[in-house]
Each structure stands twice: as C-alpha cells, then as structure tokens.
A = this chain, B = another copy of it.
Amino acid sequence: MSTVSAPATPTARVGIVGGGQLARMSQAAAIALDVELHVLDAAGAPAAAAGAQLIEGSWESLDDLARLAADVDVVTFDHEFADREALQELARRGVVIRPHPDVKRLAQDKLHMRRTLGDQLGLPVPAFAEVHEAADVEAFAQANGWPVVLKTITGGYDGKGVQVVDTPREAAETIAAFGAPVLAEALVGIDLELSAIVARAAGTGEVRAYPVVETLQVDGICNEVVLPARVDPVIAARADALALELAEAIGLEGLLAVELFVSDGELLINELAMRPHNSGHVTLNGCLTSQFEQHLRAVLGWPLGATRAVAPAAAMVNVLGPADGSDPGDRIAAALHVEGAHVHLYGKAPRPGRKLGHVTALGPDGDAALESARAAAAILEGER
C-alpha cells in the first residue's frame, strides 16, 4: 500500500493557458494518464483547486506565458484570450504550442476565420463583411437585408460581443460601443444549432469525430446539449465531415468544436473553438473517451480514444448561479436523487448567471436524457 515513495515521473507535462473549468475537468483526465498539468491563471483558479500546478500570472504577458512554457512539454488552451503576439513570439523561440498560434488565430479573430473558411477554403459561412461605420452596414444590408448581426472581431464569448441591429442608427451605436472594425453578418434563419467536435493528433494527424450534438442556446450561451443531435443523420454526417475536413485543412493539433447553424436544411459554420468546449461536456459521461482526455491525447501526439456513445442518447444542462446568490453546491445531495444524473461542479463562487457547473444524463432517447439532466440542474439552481 502507500508508503514513502521515491519521486515518480509524470508521463508528460502540459501547460494550459487559463485555469478555468475546462482545465479543471482536464485535471480529472490527467490523473488517470499521470499527466502533470500546469495552468496559467490567477490565484483561486478552479483547475488549481483541483490539483493542477498554478503558475500565477496573466495570459496577456509574454513573461508569464514564458514561465508557463518553461516546465512543460506542450502548451495548450482553456480559452481564446491569450495575447496573440506573445504566443507568436513563444512559438518563434521554439515553444511547442498546440494548436499553433497561426491556427489558434482562427478561433480568436472572427474576421480572419470568416475569410479563411469562407473565401479560402470554400466552406459554408453566413454572408459577412468587415465594417467600419454605419454606411458600411447599410451597404451590407442592401445586399443581405436587415437585420444585420454585428460582432466584435476578437474577445466575444457566450453571447457577449454580439448585437443584432435593425437600422443604420443602431449600427452606428453598436460600432461605437464595440470599436471599429466590426464583423457584419447576415442574420440567417436557424432551424437548429449543432456542434461537431473532432480531434486531430499532433504528429500523426490521426483524426476522430464525436457524434454530432445539438445545442440549445439561451441568451447566446450554449445551455443544453443533446447527443446525438435530433436531426437527419445525413446532416449530422455532413457536419462531422465538414469539421474533419476543416481540422485537416488548417493542420489542427488538438480539439476543435465547430458550431453550426442548420438553415433551410443547409449547414453554415457559426463559430470555432480550439479546446474542450461547453457543447462537449456531454462526452464526459456519454462517450467512451471524454473530450478532456481526447484533447490531452491530441496535443501530446498520442493515439486518440474511441468516441462512441455509451448509451442511445445523452444530454447536458448547464448549472447557472441562481438570482438569489445561493450556491448550487449546497443542493448537490438533492440533485443526485435524480436517477442517472451526473453532477459536475466547477468550484467557483456563486454569482447570479455565472456558469457554476453542469449535469449530464443518459437515456433511451434525447428527450428522456434531457429531462433527467434538466431535473437535476433545476434542483441545483434552487428551482424545485
């Protein structure tokens, strides 16, 4: 049994830019693989509380990023916010960053992403334009109609940095608020939103796709997920094919989530994330290999894991901080009464509307799985 040990050597050391809930859930996967995680974040970051080594600092600082990189085999990401110039400089110094900063830029810079995917790769994206002032938006609307969606080119997430405008006046206000230039997009009719998650391993180029999931958004946040998506299997297969094609075209190393609209039966690429993604939390109890383990394997150049589902269907529902400021963690025992519900809490202090955790559940079909996950999430949020 356990007695004093000689020092053990981890199989690998992975540095993560950011120590939020994604890095925290990666820590659980890292334990099994004996991978040592180092995270760059502020004190109290959720991943550090779970056992990752904390490098206290800022992802805007080249020096701090260099400290993260110093002791690890590969640097990867918990989010999209790292300073791009600093990442490029590290890559020039020989730091192994996966995905490479040039590739990661596609998830950081929406205009660059639209141009690369739409104009260069010929993949389906909504009509878009770079706009600097209201007159540009008016011109775009003449071709594509009002309303127009305006987005910050960098930094947006969870519905932040997105505004739908109906008039030149609203466009002017939004551009002033966001700061020019801004990305203008046609507002498309959405039948359904999907997320196709694929991994591509460094070195070998091995690729694997998860079953395509359906995402149900509330206020721009992916709030609920159903696996597999309740959609024509042909569309689901095309979504996975598109994500795999994209991963190969850009030379991805790691995990890629492609958020897609189904619009009049056609797929349109909405957003990209190159890291574990909220829509992939359902893989944690729903698939043979979780997205967190898969991302670690991919950036380490290890063989990828099997992605198939362990049940006919699975669902994920976010747990948000209740309006009364109470802590969902105080209601965990009640939530676990829901048969088959798996509760995942992020170790974050409660604040109204803040993502504090999620629930997954399996079921004979998507509706049943979603019902179980919703029931447990509602208890955690104090609604039952």
Tell whether, in the assembled complex, residue B6 and residue A302 are in contact, meaning their CB atoms are under 8 Å apart: no
In the bound assembly, the distance between CA atoms of A333 and B6 in angstroms comes to 24
Whether A34 is near chain B, meaning CB under 8 Å from some CB there, is yes
Interface string of A310-351 (1 = CB under 8 A from B): 110000000000000001011011001101101111111100
On A, residues with C-beta under 8 Å from B are: 1-11, 18-21, 23-25, 27-28, 31-34, 41-47, 49-52, 78-79, 81, 157, 284-285, 288-289, 297, 300-303, 305-306, 310-311, 327, 329-330, 332-333, 336-337, 339-340, 342-349, 357, 362
Q: Pick the residue among B8, B28, B44, B46 that contacts A347 (CB under 8 A).
A: B8
A31-B27, A33-B332, A336-B297 as given contacts; A349 in contact with B2, CB under 8 Å: no
In the bound assembly, the distance between CA atoms of A327 and B11 in angstroms comes to 9
A34-B346, A301-B333 as given contacts; A340 in contact with B52, CB under 8 Å: no
Tell whether, in the assembled complex, residue B8 and residue A348 are in contact, meaning their CB atoms are under 8 Å apart: yes
Task: Enumerate 21 A-B pairs (CB-CB under 8 Å) in ascending A order.
Answer: A1-B78, A6-B349, A9-B329, A25-B31, A27-B51, A32-B342, A32-B343, A33-B332, A33-B345, A34-B345, A34-B347, A51-B52, A289-B342, A297-B336, A300-B333, A301-B333, A302-B332, A302-B333, A303-B333, A303-B336, A305-B342
B residues within 8 A CB of A3?
42
Determine the main DSSP class of A at the interface with B: loop
B residues within 8 A CB of A301?
333
B residues within 8 A CB of A284?
32
In the bound assembly, the distance between CA atoms of A311 and B303 in angstroms comes to 22
In the bound assembly, the distance between CA atoms of A346 and B34 in angstroms comes to 7
A301-B333, A327-B9 as given contacts; A343 in contact with B2, CB under 8 Å: no
Query: Smallest Cβ distance from A54 to chain B, in angstroms?
Result: 11
A20-B2, A288-B285, A349-B8 as given contacts; A31 in contact with B33, CB under 8 Å: no
In the bound assembly, the distance between CA atoms of A357 and B1 in angstroms comes to 13
